[in-house]
């Protein structure tokens, strides 16, 4: 089952409804887009879809149509760095305080980077942790553990991708 992703303009419309300070007046059609987004996210953020893969290679193929391999490699390195920072942050005392805006922002950024590169499970779990922090969910510990697992799976997948893209040496 393919993962549904909202086009950028639809996400902006939803943000205008959810966060009133994003825009003074939501654009025409914003409510209808929000209803569509809700139907796409049926089931909410309570449970991660069991069928989400760690990595969707089609995302990188789409990126490769517009970006040179060294640029994609730079994005992958940046993702690894973000994974390491969020992973370290999850281990600090007080990390799961419901008002931890720094961790919520880091999870948001990590989710965006991961989604852009096709790491759909990490993107999903990053968004879930961000929302749980911002909405003071009692599920924070389990969502943090799930994000930590997704980070490990993503780092393993990045190592696999990196080893596949290196030329073989005849030593």
Taking 70 as the threshold, does the pLDDT of residue 18 lie above it? no
Structure tokens at 42: 């049926």
Rounded distance, CA 2 to CA 17, Å? 26
Report yes or no: 118 and 56 within 8 Å, Cβ to Cβ.
yes
* CATH code of the domain made up of 49-165: 1.20.120
Q: What percent of the chain has pLDDT over 70?
A: 66
pLDDT in tens, 117-151: 999 999 999 999 999 999 888 999 999 999 999 99
Residue 164 pLDDT level (bands cut at 50, 70, 90): low
- Domain residue limits, the chain: 1-42, 49-165
Model-level pTM greater than 0.85?
no
Report yes or no: 148 and 129 within 8 Å, Cβ to Cβ.
no
């Amino acid at each position: 089952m393919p993962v549904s992703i909202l086009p950028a303009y639809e996400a902006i419309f939803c943000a205008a409804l959810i966060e009133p300070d994003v825009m003074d007046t939501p654009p025409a059609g914003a409510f209808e887009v929000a209803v569509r987004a809700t139907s796409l996210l049926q089931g909410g953020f309570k449970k991660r879809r069991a069928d989400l893969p760690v990595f969707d290679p089609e995302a990188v193929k789409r990126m490769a149509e517009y970006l040179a391999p060294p640029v994609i490699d730079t994005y992958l390195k940046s993702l690894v760095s973000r994974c390491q920072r969020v992973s370290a942050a999850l281990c600090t005392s007080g990390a799961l305080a419901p008002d931890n805006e720094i961790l919520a922002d880091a999870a948001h950024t990590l989710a965006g980077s991961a989604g852009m590169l096709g790491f759909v499970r990490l993107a999903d779990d990053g968004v879930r942790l961000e929302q749980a922090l911002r909405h003071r969910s009692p599920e924070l510990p389990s969502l943090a553990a799930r994000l930590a697992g997704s980070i490990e799976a993503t780092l393993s997948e990045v190592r696999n991708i990196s080893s596949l893209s290196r030329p073989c040496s005849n030593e």
